[in-house]
Amino acid sequence: MTTPDRPRISLLGTSALLFEAPGAFDLPHQRRIWSLAATASTWPDIREAIPGITNLMLTFETPPRELDTLIAALNDGWDAAEGLAIGGREIRLPVTYGGEIGSSLQSVADHCGLSVDDLVSIHAAPLYTVFALGSHPGYCYLGGMDPRITMPRRQTPLQRSAGGSVSIGGSQTGVSASPGPSGWHAIGHTTWAFFDPSWPTPAALAPGDTVRFEIERVIR
């Protein structure tokens, strides 16, 4: 798929709008998204500005009558956005690769033409950055995955995938915080707690935090 030079802006019905940045899936672009999100969250009639992976969703308190002003503000805001460098915490997450929860370990390895051991070591090598939260309470999208272990999302999403699943979807990876439907491929699991509504900030991790996976065990 070709990447356009200008941002793409599209509607999500009357309740939200999606801004997709041009360019690579990398930290410099994501830092500009964080910056644009901080700006846009202060605009009138915007309920929340929610970063995704090099994109930004704005939800409306009240849907704007006409969209041109908002679209222009987003384009200008993107052009003006300096990267916002967030100095986050570093988290170490012990992972059991494979097993019942990580049952796609072999099929992802096969798809990528790698041995299970190589897949695991490639997955556990980088220091990942939390790019965004989304999907379900406390879930973190991580940036920094090696493109050699990319695998397209499922043809048909699963109705239920286990909580704590470490999964790959496209060129992204992440850890589910609770059981639920998923279109990704689970290669392992962790038992860490990512979310508690009684915490002052309900999600344990925030954009800018970093995560290192530690190989606890590999079940073949």
User: Contact residues for other proteins (CB under 8 A)?
Assistant: 1, 8, 10-16, 18, 20, 25, 47-48, 50-57, 59, 63, 65, 67, 132-139, 141, 152-157, 159, 169-172, 177-181, 183, 195, 197, 201-203
Convert 42-80 to b/e letters by CB count within 10 Å (16 or more is b): ebeebeebbbbbbbbbbebeeebeeeeebeeebeebbee
CB 81 → other proteins: shortest distance, Å?
Answer: 17
Answer for the pair 206, 133: CB distance below 8 angstroms, yes or no: yes
Nearest CB to other proteins, comparing residues 42 and 201: 201
Alpha helices in 47-145 (DSSP H): 68-80, 105-112, 116-124
Nearest CB to other proteins, comparing residues 67 and 125: 67
Nearest residue to 59 via CA among 130, 21, 11, 7: 11
CB 117 → other proteins: shortest distance, Å?
Answer: 26
Nearest CB to other proteins, comparing residues 187 and 203: 203
Spatial distance between the Cα atoms of 185 and 56, rounded to a whole number of angstroms: 25
Nearest CB to other proteins, comparing residues 53 and 120: 53
Helix, strand, or coil (residue 147): helix
Spatial distance between the Cα atoms of 68 and 9, rounded to a whole number of angstroms: 11
CB 220 → other proteins: shortest distance, Å?
Answer: 28
CB 143 → other proteins: shortest distance, Å?
Answer: 10
CB 103 → other proteins: shortest distance, Å?
Answer: 20
Nearest CB to other proteins, comparing residues 83 and 137: 137
Helix, strand, or coil (residue 186): strand
Nearest CB to other proteins, comparing residues 50 and 211: 50
CB 98 → other proteins: shortest distance, Å?
Answer: 24
Spatial distance between the Cα atoms of 212 and 220, rounded to a whole number of angstroms: 22
Nearest CB to other proteins, comparing residues 37 and 93: 37
Determine the residue type at 92.
Answer: R
CB 39 → other proteins: shortest distance, Å?
Answer: 15
Phi, psi (rounded to 5 degrees) for 98: 80, -155
How many CB atoms lie under 10 A from the CB of residue 113? 9
Nearest residue to 134 via CA among 16, 8, 215: 16
